[in-house]
Structure 1
Amino acid sequence: MISIIEVHGHRGARGLRPENTLPGFAHALDLGVDTIELDVGMSSDGVVVLGHDQVVSPAVLADTGPAWPGDPAYPYVGKPVRELSLAQLRTLDAGLSCDAAPMPGTRIPTLAEACALLAPADVGLSVELKTDPTWTDEEVELLTAAVAAVLKTFGCTERSRLLAFDWRVLAEARRHYPDLGRVALMERKTLAPGTGWLAGHSPADPVAAAFALGATAVSPEHAMTTPTLIDQAHALALPVIVWTVNTPADMTRFITQGADAIVTDYPDRLLALMAATPAV
């Protein structure tokens, strides 16, 4: 027997289609995921754009040419996203990151474009804001406000969660955008002693810290997710969203331990596992 669990497509379905792209999201919808997880940053001209890395990474993006002749910022790979305009970012090819199904010519979408695609679908949105402790409080506030505004414009607020390793995002959302879910991301790196990631909270008991901060769910990396952590979160009425889980054996383990949702690069595998096993 297997418990019913939410299926979260990681960056869409990054093991199956290029990550954080509209074709990737469309494929995840076709598979039947419950939630689309995606990452956002901001261009130099204030547009919320999709992308996992704060610096344009050659692992997922490729230069195709300058946005205009003689652009001194070109090539863009290796440059901070925040220093590039939307026009410059639009030149990048985002369709080469998936060996299983490369889609050359795919461009970086804006959050507004992603919402236009996803708003009509019966799917949740998990939007990870890619800030870190080097950002000023004002910069965190600006990105959080911009993301919340886009989600509101497309009527996605009630089905959306904001995710962050930088818990200042969650504190800001609790103060000003309480209708949005707030997911405390956790990994061993951000929970190290003296951490600057947790908005001043102690990493000694991260689940209790997330609860005190006003998180509505916790999302630990799979390597640190234990039955004890899951039970502790549930005792505080916090759902547990485990990331990133890609093997059927690990999926089965976390389902058995009582996780509420699994984030995976391969939602097809998790959906097949659940379909093949009777639900509790």
Structure 2
Amino acid sequence: MLLPVTLVTYIGNVAMAAPLGGDTLSSRHNNRIHLMKEPAIDVQAHRGGTGLMPENTVASMLNAVKLGVKTLELDCSITADKKVVVSHDPYMSADIMLKPDGSPISKEEEKGLAIYKMPYDSVRSYQAGVKPHPVHQQQAHVKTYKPLLSELIDSVEAYVKANHLKPVCYNMETKCMPQYDNVFHPAPDEFVKLVMEVLKEKGIQNRVIIQSFDVRTLQILHKHYPAMQTSLLVYGQDSFETQINKLGFYPTTYSPYFSLVTPELVKAAHTNHVTVLPWTVNKEEDMKQMATYGVDGIISDYPDKLIGLFGNYQRP
């Protein structure tokens, strides 16, 4: 039997096969346009795309928006004067920060420079983006600082509006751990309250998901802000069911370290209407592998690679 010749078109990680006989070029084109309205994978820029720009800065977030990501992943810490600042480390990291006068910070003194012990004016005076990154050596050098969450949101929203772009989403981590309560951050109930105050003021709650390794912050959100989307960050080897039992409810998203992801895990999550979002995936072969497993999004330091594979949210 002679089989019809097929035209195979790759859209994101999905191969679409269309027989050359029986349809028109126009209908195939229209079908592809329909399927390409939005990338199949939610491209998330880790800390704004640390491989490209200084992490967790306005510069990195705007660069990610320009590239065409859908979601900006970032970290929240709290200052002494109860401001929400965007920072992965709860202190001034010797690896990426410099003192206000441009001098280096030693490993011995970095944890003594806790953000939770400084007013925001002091936090802002430390220099980011100047020191070469120890891992991401191609990262651009842009002298900048740790911004307030409110400033970062304002900057992104203004850029999106001015350039007539589709609204972007935010994936915000509460940098919170039980052993560091009242040392590097406030207790989780206050932490959540401070973050939510900013989100309510900016009116973007429906485009935000809050993620954490600390189940306490997610439990507080689930109880007091049930409309908020939540994401459970996972690193250990415990099963999906065990992790969910610890949390006590099904979050919007299950976000494991990428090497923990299997087709079986994705199936278990999807069966319970939970999306899967692995972190931090920086090699293209791993990105492709995650897509074959059926994940819903990918967090990467190199969002440009993800966009090259799965498409541009702003210009599909």
TM bin (shorter chain)? 0.7 to 0.9
**RMSD value over aligned CA atoms?**
2.3
Q: How does 1:196-211 map to 2 (within 5 A)?
A: 205-209=241-245
Q: Distance in 2 between matches of 1:145 and 1:211?
A: 19
Q: 1:275 to 1:204 in 2, by over 3 A?
A: closer
State the secondary structure of the residue aligned to 2:97: coil
Secondary structure of the residue aligned to 2:122 is helix
Q: Is the 8 A contact 2:79 2:120 kept in 1?
A: yes
1:154 to 195, 202, 213: 202
- Name the SS for the 2:56 alignment partner: coil
Q: Return the alpha-carbon distance in structure 1 between the equivalents of residues 93 and 153 of structure 2.
A: 24
> 114, 119, 127: which is aligned to 2:152?
114
Matched residue, 2:254: 218
Counterpart of 1:125 (choices 150, 167, 170) is 170
Deviations 1:88-135 (A, max 9, x none): 111111113453244343011000001102235311100000000214
1:228-247 aligned within 5 A? 228-247=264-283
SS at match of 1:149: helix
Provide the secondary structure at the position in 2 that maps to 1:213.
coil
Greater Cα offset, 133-142 or 247-256: 133-142
> Which residue identity is paired with 2:122?
Q
Question: Which 10-residue stretch deviates more, 17-26 or 206-215?
Answer: 206-215
Which residue of structure 2 lines up, in the alignment, with residue 89 of structure 1? 123
SS at match of 2:43: strand
Larger radius of gyration: 2
1:61 paired to 2:97: yes
SS at match of 2:66: helix
Task: Indicate the SS of the match to 1:232.
Answer: helix
Q: 1:210 to 1:154 in 2, by over 3 A?
A: farther
1:40-79: per-residue Cα shift (whole Å, max 9, x none)? 110011100011012221112111239xxxxxxxx97432
Structure 1 residue 85: Cα displacement: 1.4
CA contact (8 A) 1:242 1:261 kept: yes
Matches within 5 A, 1:268-279: 268-275=304-311
Aligned-residue offset at 1:18: 0.4
* Contact kept in structure 2, 1:64 and 1:92, CA below 8 Å: yes
Secondary structure of 1:183 counterpart? strand
Structure 2 Cα separation of the partners of residues 136 and 77 of structure 1: 18
> Is the Cα contact below 8 Å between 1:125 and 1:161 reproduced in 2?
yes
Report the Cα distance in structure 2 between the residues aligned to 1:116 and 1:206, rounded to whole angstroms. 39
Deviation string, structure 1 residues 224-244 (Cα, Å, up to 9, x no partner)? 111111111011000000100
The 1:221–1:87 alpha-carbon spacing in structure 2 relative to 1, beyond 3 Å, is same
Structure 1 unaligned blocks of 5 or more: 67-74, 193-202
Q: Match of 1:132, as an amino acid? A: M
1:167 aligns with 2:215: yes
Q: Which residue of 2 aligns with 1:80?
A: 114
Superposed, 1:36-51 pairs within 5 Å as 36-51=72-87
1:34 equivalent to 2:70? Answer: yes
Please give the alpha-carbon distance, in whole angstroms, between the structure 1 residues aligned to 2:297 and 2:96. 26
Q: How does 1:249-260 map to 2 (within 5 A)?
A: 249-260=285-296
- Aligned partners of 2:55, 2:233: CA distance in 1, in Å? 19
Contiguous gaps of at least 5 residues in structure 2: 1-9, 15-39, 103-107, 161-166
Task: Please say if 1:52 is aligned against 2:100.
Answer: no
Cα shift at 1:213: 2.4
SS in structure 2 opposite 1:134?
A: helix
Counterparts of 1:275 and 1:25 in 2: how far apart (Å)? 18
Identity of aligned residues (%): 29
Q: TM-score, normalised to structure 1's length?
A: 0.85
Q: In the alignment, what sits opposite 1:195?
A: none
Report the AA paired with residue 64 of structure 2.
A
Q: Residue 123 and residue 161 in structure 1: after superposition, are their counterparts in 2 closer, same or farther (change >3 A)?
A: same
Q: Normalising to structure 2: TM-score of the pair?
A: 0.75
In the alignment, is the contact (CA less than 8 A) between 2:129 and 2:143 conserved in 1? Answer: yes
